[in-house]
Amino acid sequence: MRRLFLFLLAMLTGCAAIHPVEPRTQSVLLADGAFAPPSHPIGTADLFALSPAMRAYLQSPAFKTYLRDNGMEQGLVKALYSRSALQLEYDASKTRSAAETYAARSGNCLALVVMTAAFAKELGMTVRYQSVDVEESWSRSGALYVGSGHVNVVLGHRARVLYDSSAGQELVVDFLAPKDAGRLRTRKLEEEDIVALYMNNRAVETLAEGHVDDAYWWARGAIASRPANGAPYNTLGVIYQRHGDLALAERAYRAALAHEPDNVTVMQNLGSMLASMGRGAEAQALAERVARLQPAPPFHYFNQGMLAMQHGDYRAARDLFAREVERAPDDDVSHFWLAQALLRLGDATDADRQLAMAADTSIRPGDRQRYAAKLAHLRQLAGTQPR
């Protein structure tokens, strides 16, 4: 499951159920009057609600067979995610409610966790959420860098009969589980944390789609849901910066740092903005602190590789993209550009391999199709070349 936060590039009428925000935050950080009313309702009242179709699936013979043959927890997971069941597809581009995920048969990890929890709670299971201590992964969405953390859901049940030996046992359900996930440290999350993560994700995704006003209301809701969480303040800062409200953006970034003083993403956002405002000394101080905490920030080698491509230095670009791929093997865009550099150097065999890896690691159906088409074209060309 993904929790998203934003990092700007170095150059980044509807009625709504808006949560109240404590007065100090309202007066210092929020600017409701600067944004148009949300075009769609902003809220999470129906986040875990089951649709009629979901309730019908619970009563279906197939679903009941999964539970009878596999037990409560394993049966639920098999009923939702086995190839012979719903055939859900992972789609990192969209965070959905439980009902929306079921209807679309797709969603990102957070959406899948929410849907799984909704079914489990309806069946009377115990549900716990965990944040998993992994290194954040990064992807790009237009002019934004999007970082992702990881959470999972833990299912269990209470004894209904005296001889229920499986009562008290729990099943960890982990989508896109990182290597050696069982050995990694976890931190308990409350359902309110999941709600705030959902709203922050929606803010990030809405902003990436260019809907700045709606993104503001989602970020505002995330802050109201969990004021101590630093991520929505960073998201709010990016929104203000995109909106041209630099003073408010600075306040939001500094609020994020007050909650997470060593967050290099926020420091990079704030530092870049301060530099653009002519506050070079402050920007430099932040840059030096970032360098101490993280010598090679996300996409450092990728960005250098892109510069090398622009200058026609394809050997250097190849080596730099290869370094980015080595440290971020699941970044499809780095695989894609490594393939482009290899093609410029005449290495069609390795380019083919990198395009295949780009298609395999992509977490967006549209990108997977695009990479597959390029790979098919490359193989077609290779097949028509004289030997």
Spatial CA neighbour of 237 closest among 285, 192, 288, 274: 274
Q: Residue for token digits 């909106």?
A: 243
Measured between its terminal Cα atoms, the distance across the chain in Å is: 48
* Fold type of domain 300-382: 1.25.40
The residue to which tokens 């394809």 are assigned:
314
The SS3 call for residue 150 is coil
**Using CA atoms, how far apart are residues 245 and 78, in angstroms rounded to an integer?**
49
Q: DSSP assignment of 20-39, as one string?
A: P--HHHHHHT--GGGSPPPS
Reading the chain (387 residues) residue by residue, the pLDDT tens digits are: 444 444 443 232 333 344 455 555 556 899 999 999 999 889 899 999 999 999 999 999 999 999 999 988 999 999 998 878 887 777 777 889 999 999 998 888 888 899 999 999 999 999 999 887 665 555 655 555 566 667 788 998 764 544 455 555 788 887 765 555 556 677 888 999 999 999 998 998 899 889 999 999 999 999 998 888 888 999 999 999 999 999 999 999 999 999 989 888 899 899 989 999 999 999 999 989 988 887 776 677 888 888 899 899 999 999 999 998 887 787 788 898 899 899 889 888 898 899 888 888 776 667 777 888 877 877 776 554 433
Closest CA to 95 of 222, 183, 212, 7: 222
Amino acid occupying residue 214: D
Token match 């932040």: residue? 286
Q: Give residue limits of the domains in the chain.
A: 4-225, 300-382
DSSP 157-176: ---SSTT-TTTT-EEEE-TT
- With CA atoms as reference, report the closest residue to 237 among 295, 299, 223: 223
